Amino acid sequence: MLIGGGLAGLAGMAEVSAIQGRLRTSLSPGYGYTGFLISWMASGHPAGILAAALLLAVTTAGGDILQMTQALPGSVVNILMAVTLFAVLGSRSGAR
């Protein structure tokens, strides 16, 4: 749990220093929940985490581009992500 907390703190620092470049109140738009979902998709496998994180990162970045070019609200990315997740979750039927 200690290491986990440390890593989460590191993620927050990366978002502040590398992406936003400043401190704001609504800094991580649901990244914590996304992290849980990525870890679940990867079933706790480190290599799987890389793949799953990349998949969701591409979705998020794609959503940003959609927002800029198609005049859609920023939250559309949440729909994209949810649909991706629904597909993964639904296709894993009875896996456990």
Partner 1 sequence: MIAVLRSLLSGAVLSGTPLLYATLAEVIGERAGVVNLGLEGVMLIGAVAGFIAAVETGSAAAGVVAGALAGALFNMIFAFLVVTRRANQLATGLALMFCGVGLSALIGGRYVGSRIAGLPDLPIPGLDGIPLLGPVLFRHDALVYAAGPVAVLVWWALFRTRWGLVLRSVGENPTAAFAAGRNPYLVQYQALFVAGLLGGIAGAHLSLALARTWAEWMTAGRGFIAVALVIFSKWQPLRAIAGALLFGGAISLQLQLQAIGVPISPFLLDMLPYVLSLVALAAWGGARRHAAPASLGRVFQRSG
CB of 5 to partner 1, least distance (A): 15
CB of 76 to partner 1, least distance (A): 6
Q: Smallest gap, in angstroms, from Cβ of residue 66 to partner 1?
A: 11
Residues 16 and 27: beta-carbon distance below 8 Å: yes
CA 90 remoteness from chain centre:
19
Q: Which is nearer to partner 1, 14 or 72 (CB)?
A: 72
Binding site for partner 1 (CB under 8 A): 25, 30, 33, 36-37, 40-41, 72-83, 85-86, 89-90, 92-94, 96
- The Cβ of residue 12 has, within 10 Å, a number of other Cβ atoms equal to 14
With respect to partner 1, which residue has the nearer C-beta, 18 or 44? Answer: 44
Question: In this structure, is the dihedral angle defined by the CA atoms of residues 6, 41, 46 and 59, taken in order, positive or negative?
Answer: negative
Q: In whole angstroms, how close is the CB of 46 to partner 1 at the nearest point? A: 18
Answer yes or no: are the C-beta atoms of 12 and 28 closer than 8 Å.
Answer: yes
